[in-house]
Amino acid sequence: MLALSADSPWVYLASQSPRRRELLAQWGIRAELLLPDADEDAEALEAVRPREWPSRYVQRVTRHKLDAALARLQRRGWPDGPVLCADTTVALGRQILGKPASKADARRMLQALSGQRHQVLTAVALAHRGQVWQALSRSEVEFGPWSAADIRRYVDSGEPMGKAGAYAIQGAAGLFVKRIRGSHSGIVGLPAYETAQLLRAAGLRLL
Question: Would the pTM count as exceeding 0.85?
Answer: yes
In a domain, 24, yes or no: yes
Q: Which domain holds residue 192?
A: 10-201
Q: What is the DSSP letter of 172?
A: G
In a domain, 165, yes or no: yes
In a domain, 64, yes or no: yes
In a domain, 206, yes or no: no
Residue 17: which CATH number? 3.90.950.10
In a domain, 2, yes or no: no
Domain total of the chain: 1
Annotated catalytic residue, options 67, 87, 105, 156 = 87
Residue 155 burial (10 A CB sphere; 0-12, 13-18, 19+)? buried
In a domain, 4, yes or no: no
C-alpha closest to that of 182 among 127, 117, 134, 131: 117
In a domain, 174, yes or no: yes
Low-confidence stretches of the chain (pLDDT beneath 50): 1-6
Pairing of strands 131-143, 10-13: unpaired
Pairing of strands 30-33, 95-97: unpaired
Q: Is 87 a catalytic residue?
A: yes
The whole-number pLDDT of residue 74 equals: 96
* CB contact at 8 A, 33 and 198: no
Q: Number of C-alpha atoms within 13 angstroms, CB side, residue 95?
A: 10
Q: Which long-range contacts (C-beta less than 8 Å, at least 24 apart) are formed by 165-171? A: 165/89, 165/90, 165/97, 165/98, 165/109, 165/113, 165/118, 165/120, 166/97, 166/99, 166/100, 166/105, 166/106, 166/107, 166/109, 166/110, 166/113, 167/110, 167/113, 168/19, 169/141, 170/19
In a domain, 77, yes or no: yes
Quote the CA–CA distance of 70 and 106 in Å, as a whole number. Answer: 32
The whole-number pLDDT of residue 17 equals: 93
Q: Where are the alpha helices (DSSP H) in the chain?
A: 18-26, 54-76, 103-113, 148-156, 184-188, 192-201
